[in-house]
Amino acid sequence: MSVKLDSKIPGGSIDEKWTKHKFNMKLVNPANKRKHSVIVIGTGLAGASAAASLGELGYKVKAFCVHESPRRAHSVAAQGGINAAKNYQNDGDSVYRLFYDTVKGGDFRAREANVHRLAEVSVNIIDQAVASGVPLAREYGGLLSNRSFGGSQVSRTFYARGQTGQQLLLGAYSSMMRQVDLGTVELYTRREMLDLVVVDGKARGVIIRNLLTGEIESHEADAVIVASGGYSNVFYLSTNAMACAVTAAWKAHKKGAYFANPCYTQIHPTCIPVHGENQSKLTLMSESLRNDGRVWAPAKQGDKRTANEIPDAERDYYLERVYPSFGNLAPRDVASRQAKYRVDEGHGALGEKAVFLDFRDSIKRLGEDKVAERYGNLFQMYEKITGENPYKQPMRIFPAPHYTMGGLWVDYNLESTIPGLFVAGEANFSDHGANRLGASALMQGLADGYFVLPYTISNYFANTKLEKITTTNDAFKHAANETQNDLNKFLSVKGSRTVESFHKELGHIMWEKCGMARDKAGLTEAISKIQNLRKEFHSNVNVPGEGKGINNELEKAGRVADFIELGELMCRDALVREESCGGHFRSEHQVDGEAKRDDEKFCHVAAWEWNGSADKTQTRHQEELTFENVHLATRSYK
């Protein structure tokens, strides 16, 4: 069956849509709010802010996280900053400009209405964060400070040194803990969502594994919010934390929520290069470094000299050369691709897979102290990891998987194709199109949680008749049994390969064939390889221990199994999308190394429907995108 994807974008001009929609949405009176319950999966920026805001409204909220504490969610690791159209710098910023930059930055593959709403509420986010005690950077006059970020020509990024994500997360976390104290939010830590329970076509609960005891728990609610983050760990090596997984979103997908644009993945240009086989993750060096650092590669092919031995004349400051107007602040997808070209053409730093990020000139211009004040903690982190001093020699950087723009399909209300299932933050696909601009992820997570969901969920409750249910309902029993069976299966294989080795192999396939550049042959090959890997996984994986108590390997096995299925879908999505846009680069579709979109055929969102089994190819649905305000044009940063 082909379902028409209804984005439910409200009418009116772009700047009125959200205001009008807020008024048109139905409300739930305070006495009735107490009767409604909401489950929130994930306690990062989106989940924690949603749980806090819904608790404040009076809903009964249950918040779940896989960590021992909500404060450990991976939003904590975001470094550079958060965008907001405050125009405090008087440099020509506005809601419309942030909207424009984001649509363009996303290579015209995001919904205009969503992006405009995001730009509108961005200003409220900063106010909210400051009010809740987030110590954002300030100038000597006591007012907030800004820095600039890639893909924009204004300074609109608010920050707290290199720990903006941490500070914002702790802000949202403390707001949520306040609600826990007040009794409106019940907090469940070390819990992983392993299934979504759908009753009468509506999301009514979840199946949870208690990671401490191994028990399978059922929880019912009137609505479920999945805010479980992105899926970059499908590449094995990424800047994501170890526990970041697609599992919650994937289980929802298997219960009927469409998965949109899985092939849109962001490869971040400035990460510390891979050092060896045992490497477990990659570390990002904030994009903010490109404010003062200059990116270059040796001009001579095969030049293996150290940076300080290469004279200026033999250095190729390629971002400044290719993109004179944006220079080192070209957007992420563009900067990553250019780094890849340099390495592919034999201009890698020290002959390896890396390019240089050089602060020599900034240190000369500003002095070491000033540079240290801006980036001290990042320089320190770099030195800890590499053992090299970036004040004395340039950093070596290389792109790495960082963020996923794809995710569960949601309409304007952030509701998925399953009524009552809402998706927030990186877990949804909504606002960044095919490429996310720097400092926009924190903005989107908090926008969804603080300022969008509280309205749209109330509207859902007011418009929906929800029967009273309990976890004794058959749907819960069935889902709990299925979950237990899946876990038992992992434990009973007793094969010869570790979970980790499967994950590494998957990551390798994905990075080589569905990474920074993709082509038809590679993707086709990847799909069959992944299918074989999936079969081998389920017949040859070795999960030690038992289902009771803490069993890290069992947790990982479930996550890797889902990543394998997702990996196949990503390749399939990338294969069908015969164009290049943003982070999705099909080698067959380019003009002089720049992405070549095909707006005739692909100006749409692809949303995939699960067909009951991993062996069955998923069905691709389309949501057409229209651009009435920012007109379709070839993105240029030259």
Partner 1 sequence: MASAKATINLKLKVWRQKDNKSQGGFKEYDAKNVSPDASFLEMLDAVNEELIKKGEEPILFDHDCREGICGSCGFMINGNAHGPQKSTTVCQLHMRVFKDGETLVLEPWRASAFPILKDLVVDRSAFDRIIKSGGYISVNTGNAQDANNIPIPKPDADEAFMSATCIGCGACVASCKNASAALFTSAKIQHMALLPQGQVERAQRALDMTAQMDAEGFGACSTTGACSAACPKDISLINIATMNRELLKATITKKEEHTGGGDG
Question: How many other β-carbons are positioned within 10 Å of the β-carbon of residue 353?
Answer: 17
Let me know the angle formed at the C-alpha of 562 by 334 and 502, rounded to the nearest 5 degrees: 85
Helix (H, G, I), strand (E, B) or coil at 506: helix
193 binds partner 1 (CB under 8 A): no
CA distance 107 to 596: 10
Whether 58 contacts 33, CB under 8 Å: yes
The nearest distance, CB 499 to partner 1, in angstroms, is 8
- Rule CB under 8 A: which of 109-128 touch partner 1? 124, 126-128
> From the list 356, 398, 450, 637, which residue makes contact with partner 1 (rule: CB under 8 A)?
450
Q: Does 41 bind partner 1 (CB under 8 A)?
A: no
Q: Annotated active-site positions, please?
A: 332
Q: Within 13 Å of residue 206, how many CA atoms lie on the same side as its CB?
A: 30
Number of residues that bind partner 1 (CB under 8 A): 85
Which parts of 551-580 interact with partner 1 (CB under 8 A)?
552-553
Half-sphere exposure of 422 (CA within 13 A, CB side): 31
Shortest Å distance, C-beta 380 to partner 1: 8
Binds partner 1 by CB under 8 A, chosen from 393, 498, 590, 619: 498
Min. distance of Cβ 39 from partner 1 in angstroms?
19
**CB 381, min distance to partner 1, A:** 7
Residue ranges in 339-368 that form contacts with partner 1 under rule CB under 8 A:
350, 352
Within 139-168, which residues bind partner 1 (CB under 8 A)? 139-144, 160-161, 163, 165-167
Choose one: 68-76, 255-263, 485-493, 594-602; the region binding partner 1 (CB under 8 A): 68-76
Q: How far apart are CA 156 and CA 139, in angstroms?
A: 14
d(CA 236, CA 417): 29
Choose, by CB under 8 A, the member of 49, 114, 266, 417 that binds partner 1.
49
Using rule CB under 8 A, residue 88 touches partner 1: yes
- The correct pick among 544, 578, 593, 617 for binding partner 1 (CB under 8 A) is 544
What distance in Å separates the CA atoms of residue 12 and residue 20, rounded to the nearest whole number? 8
513 vs 525: CA distance, rounded Å: 8
Residues 235-264 that bind partner 1 (CB under 8 A): 241-243
Q: Which of residues 82 and 113 has its CB atom nearest to partner 1 in the complex?
A: 82
Q: Is 175 in the site for partner 1 (CB under 8 A)?
A: yes
Closest CA to 228 of 66, 42, 38: 42
Nearest one of 291, 293, 273 to 282, comparing CA atoms: 273
Rule CB under 8 A: choose which of 32, 89, 94, 189 binds partner 1.
Answer: 189
Is residue 550 involved in binding partner 1 (CB under 8 A)?
Answer: yes
Residue choice 17, 60, 74, 332 for contact with partner 1 (CB under 8 A): 74
| Ranges within 581-620 binding partner 1 (CB under 8 A) | none
Q: DSSP states of 163-182 as a string? A: -HHHHHHHHHHHHHHHHHHH
Tokens representing residue 184 in the block: 């409106």
Q: Where are the beta strands (DSSP E) in 405-463?
A: 407-408, 421-423
Dihedral angle of Cα 173, 175, 177, 178, to the nearest 10 degrees: 170
Quote the least distance from Cβ 183 to partner 1, whole Å.
Answer: 11
Chain positions 262 to 301 lying near partner 1, rule: CB under 8 A, are: 275-276, 278-281, 283-284
- Binders of partner 1 among residues 377 to 396 (CB under 8 A) are 380-381, 384-387
The enclosing H or E element of 321 equals helix 318-322
CB 433, min distance to partner 1, A: 27
Helix (H, G, I), strand (E, B) or coil at 196: strand
Compute the distance between CA of residue 37 and CA of residue 40 in angstroms, rounded to an integer.
10
Q: Does 451 bind partner 1 (CB under 8 A)?
A: yes
| Residue 25 binds partner 1 (CB under 8 A) | no
Is position 53 an interface residue for partner 1 (rule: CB under 8 A)?
A: yes
